[in-house]
Structure 1
Amino acid sequence: MIDFPDAWYLILSSRLIPDLDGGYTISTLARARQMTEAGAQPLLLTVDPGSPDAHAQHRATFVERGAVAASEVFRNLFDDAVDADGGAAEWLRAAAAPGYADPALEYRDVAGGAVSLPNVIDPDWHLTAAPIVIRDAAGEPVGVIAGFGALYRAWLTHVGAQLRAENPRPLVVICESRQLGELIVGWGDDGVRILHTVHTIHLEAPYRADSALNPLWRRWFDISPRFDAVLWPTVQQRDDVRERFGTAANDLVAPHAVRAPDAVVAAADRDPGRVVVLGRLAPGKRLPAAIRAFARVVAEVPAARLELWGAGAQRGDLETLIAELGLTDAVSLPGLTNDPGAVLDHAAVYLTTSAFEGQGLALAEALAHGTPVVAYDIRYGPRDMLAAGGGILVPDGDEDALVAALVRVLTDAEMRERLSTEAVDAAATLSPARAMRTLVAACAEALSRPRRR
């Protein structure tokens, strides 16, 4: 067991819904599970205004899949917003001030009518100070809260007070959402430390170090030095950020971890022609390009087969392209899987043609399962994870190089065996134990000094 500092640990996410948000949901739940196994016992906090029944179903699904140990590790703001009589909970009433709804806005009732949220049509809706109406059991207004930030901070203060009543130790908040980070960075509690994780790229196309910032990140970089630590998933992204913004932020490299299987399937026991992709069927994955490249692979390796596992809006277009290229016998779309390890255990190669990633969780899982990787050299993930071997990194967008790499791995059994061994070794740097040691060090450092906010 790894010794976390004596504190309450809260993992804060905007939402956690099965089969939504791809690797974000998987890695956030994995962090919570790994912390629990290491003895930290975190709570998972969410702020999406779904119904209690929907939240209960989501949690039951996660427990059934083994993503979390028990439903009791979850708490949701709007589940906590209702008192036994159906009105706003006491903490919510205490946070409200006199005021009224904004007549220029439409409102929607949530939390059984205890809260009325303004519908703000703006990419920066979370920053609004538009009044949120708090109601009693009869539906009568009892006051307003000035915007989502004030609402979220009031709830976190309430949760913290409950925990400290049990044990007056500090709180460590691991914030998994950029929007939430912007809203809680001004939380003025000296007993709270905020560690902000990163899940995705901060750049716009063409995704070079000097490319334009994604507009959603511009404010975040202004406030990032105020977090007690920023946890980047790759060295390359951390270094790109330092080169551009300096070192004012307490930035650390903390890759999302993957659990290795009990045993790795030998290269000789896999289907030697099977190539798999795991992820959303979305434009950023550049799957049409993967299919077109694979048509050339099949011309050289007739037994080759490509499986595109996942769901998404591009499925129909991909099916059409597969038919147009005459690849219906070579390329398939099996759908979602809740057991990616089983898919990887039978594959000769894991392929990724993404235009960008945060880290590339499926690639990390492929390495852990000893599945050789062929990947474009993109920001971010493949270069870091394949630095010690386990696959072939090809220049981004170079179809000739991609085809050559796939053909080479598929036709060379000795290479597949070597890459499989290297992959397992490379995955050791992404182990839960290593990730937890990094997190423990970050928490200890943050708790050893005053808050940066």
Structure 2
Amino acid sequence: MTTFPDAEYLILSSRLIPDHDGGYTFATLARARQMAAAGVHGGAGPLLLTVDPGTREDHARHRATFDGRDLVVDPSRMRNLFDESDAAHGGAADWLRAASHPGEADPALQYRVVAGRDGSPAVALPVIAGDPDWHISDAPVVVYGSGGRVAGIVDGFGALYRAWLDHVVAELRAGDPARPVVVVCESRQLGELLAGWADPGVRLVHAIHTIHLEPPFDPEADLNPLWSRWFTVAEKFDAVLWPTRAQRADVAARFGDAGVHVVVPHAVPAGSSVIPASDRVPGRAVMLNRLAPGKRVDLAVHAFVDVIARVPHATLDIFGAGAEQEALQQLVDALGLGAHVVLHGTTEDPGRVLDAASVFVSTSAYEGQGLSLAEALVHGTPVVAFDVRYGPRELLAEGGGVLVPDGDIGALADALVRVLSDPDEHARLAREAITAARRVDPEHAMTALAQAARDVLSRPSRRG
């Protein structure tokens, strides 16, 4: 039984919006549920904090949707900065006014005003359009008093976020100023802004969701520009949670191992039972991913020309939405595959999709871990995947699927034909899939996360 050390636990995300951000949202909410199941805060789980400036109505709708889909344990433990940014008597909340100092808006910038419950302005955010580094700007954030008057400013989004977190932490420590706090930061942008958060009682744990490399994605490839600055502050986190051993090893070899890098996979719980092959749809291959360029779904479509020539009853059901949807439909039509390849859009029940499938297909150019691939293994669905960083090789190390050379459409088709047409091969891979899935079960992931929490709480904060 996993036991977390006694502390307050928070999960911090830039946003959590239903059907947005692909596997990121699912993985973040899953971590919170799994921490709750491990007993954090008596089974209520960590606080889930977000900083997106939507309306109260937006956030209430998001919570209700997550609750209706059983993706959160207690929706009242989801809190948003801007829901708490105003005072009952108008203007900004007391914690925000206390963090401000005299100043004015930048006249060269446009501002987005966030209103309070009474409709009067509470805070105004600088709009820094077209700049991927907008979050590190110290452009003034305007704080209002009652009656719509300017009460002061805070110096940029980082100061705003830290002020709110100081307020939340102070609430959690009421009556016990020395109470330890563990913050699991799920967002790179937020992590950069919190690297200077000097509260000696806070331990900042940063979770990774994606690859840090540019093409060709080998260990010495250029860094993704969005990650270059992050690596300059990575050693200020008390721990960094990498989803795979391979990514952790590549990072440690390239940047050095400062003792902060640990492996904590994104976990997928086992279902109640595994559907036998006899109850699955013969010949059905499925994909579950965003329809984005990096997922390279077009390669699977091209491979299916060869697949159906050898397995005439084969079908490819593609679940997901994104920018590539129209182009993919045009490709399906151009190849005359409409009777075999179908774009279904998003699904709210991926488990049912996987239970009906005979094989799961992954053609991504890269992964963080490969969450949908892990889900396929949990459901006993054999996998055919390109051998890319990071995830597929590690997840399939104990079997459960077939790795094919990256980008090789012919090898992809051959593997699909073999799995779909050879019952013995399919049965073997299905048995192996269940064993392979144990690498990412919640007990394994929570044991690793609880140990990381014990380690960071046993030593001083690295930002002291």
On whether the aligned pair clears a TM of 0.5, the verdict is: yes
**One-letter code of the match for 1:73?**
R
The amino acid across from 2:69 in the alignment is: R
Q: Does 1:45 align with 2:49?
A: yes
What does residue 151 of structure 1 align with? 160
Counterpart Cα distance in 1 of 2:107 and 2:250: 46
Instruction: Tell me the residue number matched to 1:12.
Output: 12
Q: Distance in 2 between matches of 1:273 and 1:166?
A: 62
Match of 1:107 among 101, 107, 111: 111
Per-residue Cα deviation, 1:39-82 (whole angstroms, up to 9, x for no partner): 11200000000001000000000000000022111010011101
- The verdict on how the C-alpha distance between 1:259 and 1:167 changes in structure 2, with shifts beyond 3 A counting, is farther
Q: Match of 1:330?
A: 340
Rounded to whole Å, the distance in 1 between the matches of 2:282 and 2:436 is: 22
8 Å contact from structure 1 (residues 275, 351) kept in 2: yes
Which of these residues, 60, 82, 87, is aligned with residue 86 of structure 2?
A: 82
What residue is the counterpart of 1:349 in the other structure?
A: 359
Note the 1:182-261 alignment, pairs <5 A: 182-261=192-271
CA positional deviation for 1:136: 1.8
Q: Distance in 2 between matches of 1:137 and 1:35?
A: 40
- Structure 2 gaps, min length 5: none
Equivalence for 1:162: 171
Q: Which of 143, 146, 151 is the equivalent residue of 1:137?
A: 146
**Structure 2 match to 1:281:** 291
SS at match of 2:282: coil
- The equivalent of 1:293 in structure 2 is 303
Q: Identify the match of residue 349 of structure 2 among 339, 348, 351.
A: 339
Instruction: Indicate conservation of the 8 Å contact 1:305/1:330, yes or no.
Output: yes
The code of the aligned residue for 1:92 comes to L
- State the distance in 1 between where 2:63 and 2:457 align: 31
Aligned length: 453
Equivalent residue, structure 1, for 2:326? 316
Provide Cα deviations, 1:349-380, integer angstroms capped at 9, x if missing partner. Answer: 00000011111110000000000000000011
- Partner of 1:110, secondary structure, is strand
Contact kept, 8 Å, 1:257 with 1:432, in 2: the verdict is yes
How far apart, in 2, do the equivalents of 1:360 and 1:326 lie?
30
Contact kept? 1:348, 1:371, Cα under 8 Å:
yes
Runs of 4 or more above 2 Å deviation: none
Q: Does 1:69 align with 2:73?
A: yes
Query: In 1, Cα distance between the equivalents of 2:350 and 2:89?
Result: 45
> Is there any run of 5+ residues in structure 1 with no aligned partner, and where?
none
Q: CA deviation at 1:320?
A: 0.9
Instruction: Tell me how far apart the structure 1 counterparts of residues 102 and 208 of structure 2 sit (CA, whole Å).
Output: 38
Cα shift at 1:166: 5.1
Supply the distance in 1 between the matched residues of 2:189 and 2:355 (Cα, whole angstroms).
37
C-alpha separation between the residues in 1 aligned to 2:64 and 2:90? Answer: 24
CA distance in 2, matches of 1:69, 1:10: 14
Deviation at residue 272 of structure 1 after TM alignment: 2.1
**1:33 equivalent in structure 2:** 33
Matched residues in 1 for 2:329 and 2:138: separation? 46
Judge which range, 195-204 or 158-167, deviates more: 158-167
The aligned amino acid for 1:36 is A
Distance 2:429 2:90 in 1: 59
Distance in structure 2 (CA, Å) of the matches to 1:55 and 1:68: 14
Return the letter of the residue paired with 1:44: L
Deviations 1:198-241, CA, capped at 9 Å, x for gaps: 00010111111111100110111111111110000011111111
Separation in structure 2 between the aligned mates of residue 134 and residue 232 of structure 1, nearest angstrom: 37
Distance (whole Å) between structure 2 residues aligned to residue 88 and residue 249 of structure 1: 41
> Contact between 1:297 and 1:304, CA under 8 Å: does it hold in 2?
yes
Question: Does the aligned pair in 2 maintain the 1:311–1:336 contact within 8 Å?
Answer: yes
Give % identity.
Answer: 60
Distance 1:326 1:229, change over 3 A: same
1:304 corresponds to 2:317: no
Residue 93 in structure 1 maps to residue 97 in structure 2? yes
Question: 1:404 aligned to 2:408?
Answer: no
Taking the aligned partners of 2:133 and 2:341, their CA distance within structure 1 comes to 41
Q: What letter matches 1:37 in structure 2?
A: A
Q: Is the 8 A contact 1:359 1:380 kept in 2?
A: yes
Which residue does 2:58 correspond to in 1?
54
Work out the CA distance in 1 between the residues paired with 2:416 and 2:310.
Answer: 10
Task: From 432, 449, 452, give the equivalent of 2:459.
Answer: 449
SS at match of 1:165: coil
Report the AA paired with residue 431 of structure 1: D
* Match 1:438 to one of 444, 448, 458: 448
TM-score of the two chains, using structure 2 as the length reference: 0.96
CA contact (8 A) 1:268 1:413 kept: no
Give the deviation of 1:2 after TM superposition. 2.4
- Displacement, 1:133? 0.4
Distance across 2 between alignment mates of 1:351 and 1:166: 53
Displacement of 1:317: 1.0
* Distance of 1:73 and 1:167 partners within structure 2: 21
* CA positional deviation for 1:268: 2.5
Question: How far apart in 2 are the matches of 1:288 and 1:299?
Answer: 18
Distance 1:243 1:170 in 2: 32
